[in-house]
Amino acid sequence: MIVPGYRDHPSETWDPVAPVDPGEAEDFLRRCYAENPRLGPVEPRLAIVRAQVAATGTYVHTTDELSFGAKMAWRNASRCIGRLYWRSLVVLDRRRARTADQIFSLLVHHLQAAGTGQLRPVISIFAAAQPGQPFARVWNEQLIRYAGYRGEDGHAVGDGRQVAFTAAMRGFGWRGKGEHFDVLPLVIETPTEGVRLYELPERAVREVPITHPEYGWFAELGLRWHAVPAISNMRLTIGGVHYPLAPFNGWYMGTEVGARNLADTDRYDVLPTIAARMALDTTKESTLWRDRALLEINRAVLWSFEKAGVRMSDHHTESQRFMAHIRNEEKAGREVPADWTWIVPPMSGSLSPAFHRYYPEMDLRPAFYLDDEAAALARDGSRCPHGHG
């Protein structure tokens, strides 16, 4: 996925009662103003921030600080292969929204702002957490996810990863169609209104049917996937200030859909079905039937998105662009943190230039983090232990 977000994310312990660390605030502001001379001298701004932190335990970012901080967080995301585009992030300041209705309306706008074809990276940043105060959040791991249902035979219908979360939504009264690609409702929790569920309108969910350039029977499988990957359960940390609700999107890399979402055994597990349609010998692993089926589903995904006019990258091109990003950062005197296990694509890894080198692992800030509470909510809809909402 060409955004700083993935199935599993680095987590970081966060004390929601603690005030902002003045040292972290100063470090961010000095780097922000050094990289953006147009903002003027930093010392007057530091004096204001120190006074705000001393009086309230936190401070308020200017629009410019918020925007550049979000871009820096993307630049620092060690598990993202698509950081070459970090400067192009569209930052939407949504810090004034408070009610669930307002938040939902702005999330729908976010999906529309991302586009339906030539997608662009967008982040919507809602209110910052205040020390010791409850905050708004979205339970879903992405703004668009498909439901999963456990059948009587034990097999999942839909996304196997979402079975527990779907069951929790049904406990709140939501009823899906019980089909493979039912879009889950958005679950928004606010301090004053508690938990509310919202159905996404059709205009906010662009989907691409998956067909194949050679195999006509692919259309009979009824596969499809949504165009916009929008991570919604990660916390954005900028200069010591935490933004618990800061959903962001980019566009998919083909293998994210073809080699993971549709192929993983705990997701849609389509490889056995494709192998059967191709009449492959599945009696032993040495026939490489999985590899052959995996190649064809990935061809189908890339071809379908291109035919639909929806932006998607292939893993070879994106690996080359990541190398370009490293060269750019080295020229700027910055190291590039990267997690090798995430940067190397999930298929044809050794064909990628990213495979043939190692990378430093650093926890650079600003950054995106997944809190344990957010992970539990996205995984199974369990209540957070602090009782927010």
Phi, psi of 186 (to 5 degrees): -85, 135
Q: Which of 140, 139, 112 is closest to 124 using CA atoms?
A: 112
On the question of a cis peptide bond just before residue 366, with omega within 30 degrees of 0, the verdict is: yes
* Candidates 74, 139, 251, 289; catalytic one: 251
* CA–CA dist 249, 1 (Å, integer): 9
* Candidates 83, 196, 267, 311; catalytic one: 83
* CA–CA dist 301, 309 (Å, integer): 12
142: left (phi over 0), alpha (psi -120 to 50) or beta: beta
Please say if 340 is a catalytic residue.
no
Please say if 32 is a catalytic residue.
no
For the record, the structure tokens of 305 come out as 């998105």
Phi, psi of 146 (to 5 degrees): -95, 145
How would you classify the pairing of strands 186-190 and 137-138?
Answer: antiparallel
* CA–CA dist 238, 25 (Å, integer): 8
* Candidates 80, 225, 289, 299; catalytic one: 80
- As a residue count, the chain comes to 389
Q: Which residues pair with 142 in a beta bridge?
A: 231
Close Cβ partners of 344 (under 8 Å, ≥ 6 residues apart): 352, 354, 355
Please say if 207 is a catalytic residue.
no
How would you classify the pairing of strands 224-226 and 207-209?
Answer: antiparallel
- Measure CA 267 to chain center: 17
Please say if 80 is a catalytic residue.
yes
Q: What amino acid positions are annotated as catalytic residues?
A: 80, 83, 251, 256
